[in-house]
Structures are given as structure tokens and as C-alpha cells.
Amino acid sequence: MRWISAQLSAAFRVLTLVGRFSTGKARLKSVLLTPLTKAMRRVYLDHSATTPPDPRVIEAMLPYLTEKFGNASSVHLWGQEARAAVDRARRQIARLISARANEIVLTSGGTEANSLAIRGVCEAAASHGQHIITSTIEHPSVRGAIDSFEKQGWEVTRLPVYGDGIVRTEDVRAALREDTVLVSVMLANNEIGTIQPIAEIGALIRAARAADHRHLSFHSDAVQAAGRVAINVEALGVDLLSLSGHKIYAPKGAGALYVRRGVRLVPQQIGGHQERERRAGTESVANIVAFGAAAELAQKEKDARNEHTRGLRDRFESEVAARIDEITFNGNRELRLPHLSNISFRFIEGEGLLIHLDMQGVAVSTGSACSSGTLEPSPVIRALGRDEELARGAIRFSFGKDNTEEDVDYVVEALVHAVTSLRHLSPLSRQTAAVT
């Protein structure tokens, strides 16, 4: 077992070394997977979907995939090693959001954390009221969980975000009712990156609770914001807050829900004593260790990462604005995550642009989908009041710590080429000219 671990570690160190000599660790996998005959540059600009695991994070988790394989619930030495690792990771994750370690419930990821928060709180508070307040731009995992209560007869108020993608605290105040048991508003949006006034809403909820609204809870999905925005759960006034490891350079498979001490939650996964009876199931120790290591790195490196990605994003946006006309930037450009840019390109459709860019080695994403003849334009872009054409032509570019200025320059060229090609084909475009 030790031999396997040593080999894996050695192999990983070699790969890491190769990565350092290449143009960026993020592209290491791409470099290895790209046939030598096709030396196309590859640029990953989809860090809001997932991030490439940091080699330091992988190094931290490797022993827990090999010799330290114990079940954290076992009493023997192997179990104690695993338990200690899980506890350490729990403290690292708690520190990222200035919480106590015993307020962290470890989950399989952000979706499970959101589901546990919403279903857990609503089921616990159902006898006190059946009204939920949320926004129109929540992640599908929040939207889905809340929709399921609406189907059961609960009432839901979905707050507008106006043209800038920001919820207004006054709207939350106006929507509060005696039977409201949950307010769920994300900290930062996953498609346009807009940062919501969570501390203001949190203060409002606290005041409402103090005025005899005892069964009201406040949840915030911080999956996109964590590691990019300073989070202090006390200052924000949240009762529940969702996190995910793979958005901060850990592998997929671990997330967490902050549950303020005293908040009642009905467990959604039962049949074990793990996570203080709030989430049964053997802990994914290696993934949790990775999440903990990633959380610690995110906390230490947040400012440097933000400065780096903001620089790249701003360079990208000014180049795009200078070279491509008929574009619209989506979301408030001040109150947004530093690594993200969402742009609508008129006359063309996002999926076509995405594939064009993919063929040039550039990875981005679109919130719209055309499936079986049914169009599902991004609900987030639609919520901004954009027409259908702009909603269909929206693309998210999300930068990461390993991207470079050369990446930005390459993507701008690829984008200009793709937009020009697609507009040339578009019957909507004024640029269309006869070609013989």
C-alpha cells in the first residue's frame, strides 16, 4: 500500500513538474491528452463549472486513497487517522467562513448542501408556516428544491433582480410574511457573478426574528462566492450557507453546509450517526481532506487570486468591447465576482459560439439550451429583462488562477473569429452579405 502511494506521489510530482514548465498547471491535463500532431492551444475558461485540482490539494489527499484508508467511524488506528483528517478538514473549512467546526456538515457537494438546507429547514418548520422567499436567479439545485415544496402546496415569492442582477433588500422586507419560514438568496450568482446584499438581508432577518418571528431561517448558496469573497457567517447573518470543494481547486465529491448552532434541520439522509446525526453515511475522507486543503489555500491566496483573475477578466472585456460590436455585458459590473464575465452576442446563439470556441480549444459555457425543438434560454439572463435573442447569445467566461495573459489574447482572437463566422451565417445580422 505504501509502495502504491509512493508511486502515485512520485508520478504526480513528475506531472506537476511538467505542468510548471508548460504554460500553466491548468492545462497540464490538456497537454497530456492532446495528440502531438494537433498542437492546438487549449484554454480553460470555465472555472465556475469546475476548477482543475491544485497539485498541493491532490498531494494532501493521496495518503487517504492509499495507506490511510480507514473508515472515520472505526475505533482502531486506521479509523482514528481518518477521523483526525476529517476533523482537521472540518476546521479548515470552518475557518474559510469564520464558523465553528461543529457548525459544518460535510456533504457530497454543493447540490446536496442546498438540498439539505432547504428541505431540512422547511420540513422542520412546516407546522409554523409554508412560505419561502427566494430570488429568480438561484442555482438549479436551490430552484429545484424550492419548486418541490411549491408542488406540495407551499407558497413561494421569487424576488426580481432588475437589470443589474441584484436582489433588493427592500423587496425581501416587503415579501416577509408571518408564515415565512425560509429566505434563500445566493451570495454570488453562478452565471453572471453578481454579489447579493446578504449582510443587509441577514440583518433584516435577525431583526424579524427578534420581533417574534422565531421560525424564520436564512440560507445562502455560497458555492460560487467561497474563496473569492471574504465570508464571515456572523457578519452576513446567515443561518445556513452552502459550499463546494471543486469550485476552489479540490476534486469533485465534497461539499459542506454551515448550520448555525440552534437551527433545526430534518436530516435528509438517515441510518448512521455521522455529522452529528445530520447526514448519515461513511465520510469520503480523501475528498474531505482535499476540500479542507483547498479551503486553507483559498483563504491564504484569495487576494492574490482575485487580483490576478480580475486583471485577466478586465483585459479580456476591454479587448472584446473594442473588437466586437453589438454585445451586452450581463449583470452589475462593479458588484460581481472578479473572475467572471458574461456577455451576450447579438445575432448569434450561444451553443453555436460555444462549439466554435471548443473547436479552437477554448472552453466556456452557456446557460441556454436548445433541446428537442424546445428552447430553454438562461433563466438568469431572462431575469435581467434581456430579450430572447440576447438570452440565447449569452456566454460565460470564468477565469482561474492558472490562466495567463497569453490565454486571454488567444481567446480574444478565437472569439472574434467565431463571432464573425457565425454572424456571417445569421439571417438576423446586418453584416450578412451575399456570398457566391
Catalytic residue numbers read 370
Number of residues that bind other proteins (CB under 8 A): 28
The CB-of-435 to other proteins minimum distance in angstroms stands at 3
SS (H, E, C) the chain: CHHHHHHHHHHHHHHHHHHHHCCCHHHHHHHHHCCCCCCCCCEECECCCCCCCCHHHHHHHHHHHCCCCCCCCCCCHHHHHHHHHHHHHHHHHHHHCCCCHHHEEEECCHHHHHHHHHHHHHHHHCCCCCEEEEECCCCHHHHHHHHHHHHCCCEEEEECCHHHCCCCHHHHHHHCCCCEEEEECCCECCCCCEECCHHHHHHHHHHHHHCCCCCCEEEEECCCCECCECCCHHHHCCCEEEEECHHHCCCCCCEEEEECCCCCCCCCCCCCCHHHHCCCCCCCHHHHHHHHHHHHHHHHHHHHHHHHHHHHHHHHHHHHHHHCCCEEECCCCCCECCCEEEEEECCCCHHHHHHHHHHCCEECECCCEEECCEEECCHHHHHCCCCHHHHHCEEEEECCCCCCHHHHHHHHHHHHHHHHHHHHHCCCCCCCCCCC
The CB-of-350 to other proteins minimum distance in angstroms stands at 9
Q: Given candidates 355, 405, 430, 431, which one binds other proteins under the rule CB under 8 A?
A: 355
Q: Given candidates 246, 339, 382, 392, which one binds other proteins under the rule CB under 8 A?
A: 392
Q: x/- site string to other proteins, residues 165 to 184, per CB under 8 A?
A: --------------------
By the rule CB under 8 A, 428 interacts with other proteins: yes
Q: Given candidates 245, 352, 361, 367, which one binds other proteins under the rule CB under 8 A?
A: 352
By the rule CB under 8 A, 34 interacts with other proteins: no
Burial of 40 (0-12, 13-18, 19+ CB in 10 A): exposed
Q: Which residue has the cell 480549444?
A: 361
By the rule CB under 8 A, 370 interacts with other proteins: yes
By the rule CB under 8 A, 435 interacts with other proteins: yes
The CB-of-369 to other proteins minimum distance in angstroms stands at 9
Contact between residue 327 and residue 343 where contact means Cβ atoms under 8 Å apart? yes
Q: Given candidates 351, 379, 409, 413, which one binds other proteins under the rule CB under 8 A?
A: 351
Q: x/- site string to other proteins, residues 213 to 242, per CB under 8 A?
A: ------------------------------
Q: Given candidates 39, 75, 211, 434, which one binds other proteins under the rule CB under 8 A?
A: 434
Nearer to other proteins, 39 or 210 (CB): 39
Q: Given candidates 258, 347, 397, 399, which one binds other proteins under the rule CB under 8 A?
A: 347
Nearer to other proteins, 298 or 414 (CB): 414
By the rule CB under 8 A, 40 interacts with other proteins: no
C-alpha 261/C-alpha 240 separation (Å) is 10
The CB-of-38 to other proteins minimum distance in angstroms stands at 13
The CB-of-376 to other proteins minimum distance in angstroms stands at 9
By the rule CB under 8 A, 326 interacts with other proteins: no
Window contacting other proteins (CB under 8 A); options: 6-14, 260-268, 305-313, 343-351: 343-351
By the rule CB under 8 A, 11 interacts with other proteins: no
By the rule CB under 8 A, 41 interacts with other proteins: no
CA 337 from centre of chain: 11
Nearer to other proteins, 127 or 436 (CB): 436
Nearer to other proteins, 127 or 372 (CB): 372
Q: Given candidates 37, 212, 334, 372, which one binds other proteins under the rule CB under 8 A?
A: 372
Q: Given candidates 112, 349, 402, 407, which one binds other proteins under the rule CB under 8 A?
A: 349
By the rule CB under 8 A, 424 interacts with other proteins: yes
Contact between residue 341 and residue 47 where contact means Cβ atoms under 8 Å apart? no
Using only C-alpha atoms, the chain has a radius of gyration, in whole angstroms, of 23
By the rule CB under 8 A, 436 interacts with other proteins: yes
Window contacting other proteins (CB under 8 A); options: 64-72, 136-144, 186-194, 422-430: 422-430
Its sign, for the CA torsion 103, 108, 285, 18, is negative
Binding site for other proteins (CB under 8 A): 347-349, 351-352, 355-356, 359, 370-375, 388, 392, 421-422, 424-428, 432-436
